[in-house]
Amino acid sequence: MLGCRGSKIRFSSETWLKLNTLERLAEAGYRAVAIDLPGLGNSKEAKAPAQVGEPAPGSFLKQVSEGLQLGPAVVISPSLSGMYSLPFLFQHNDLVKAYIPVAPICTEKFTAEQYSSIETPALIVYGDQDTQLGEVSFNNLKNLSNHKVVVLQGAGHPCYLDKPGEWHSAVLQFLQSL
């Protein structure tokens, strides 16, 4: 672990299947891929591989992206996945077409200057009832130079579970604007 705040593990790639997010994205013409991070979900015994001179989290998503031949991808990153998506965003920005963080952890690991150097389009999403991690992550992510914000009213930390219709609408509208 990278020692970031808010690392409760409750969800897996199956969440996106049950929520119909994968289906909604496919119906809209997008190739959607949901993965379990190393040591989580169905990959409980897996460890994140590292490349020489590069931290494991950024390297792991690079290997996934290249292995699945995703090309520049839109990365949706809720909560715990921030420990992987943020290093990937900063280390391999050329592989990220857009970034959709949903109250991710580890946002405090990067400076406002680092965030402002990223020009990748971002849709920052959090629930207004997530007064801890949602607000902390937003206060850091708002420094991204090219971002939009969606606050789901009446939603908690896993705001996509509390407001799936609004979540899907926001994501699809953002994707269509790219």
Catalytic residue among 81, 130, 147, 168: 130
Catalytic residue among 12, 65, 77, 79: 79
CB burial of 157-166 (b: ≥16 within 10 Å; e: otherwise) equals: bbbbbbbbeb
Q: To 5 degrees, how large is the angle CA 171–CA 49–CA 81?
A: 25
Q: How many CB atoms lie within 10 A of CB 30?
A: 14
Q: Establish whether 157 is a catalytic residue.
A: yes
Residues 139, 167: Cα–Cα separation, whole Å: 21
Q: Establish whether 116 is a catalytic residue.
A: no
Q: Which residues make beta-bridge pairs with 151?
A: 126
Residues 37, 169: Cα–Cα separation, whole Å: 26
Q: Establish whether 36 is a catalytic residue.
A: no
Token pair of 61 as six digits? 């998503």
Catalytic residue among 12, 65, 77, 157: 157
Q: Which residue has the tokens 């077409």?
A: 97
- Give me the phi and psi of 33, to 5 degrees please: -130, 130
Q: What is the set of active-site residues?
A: 79, 130, 157
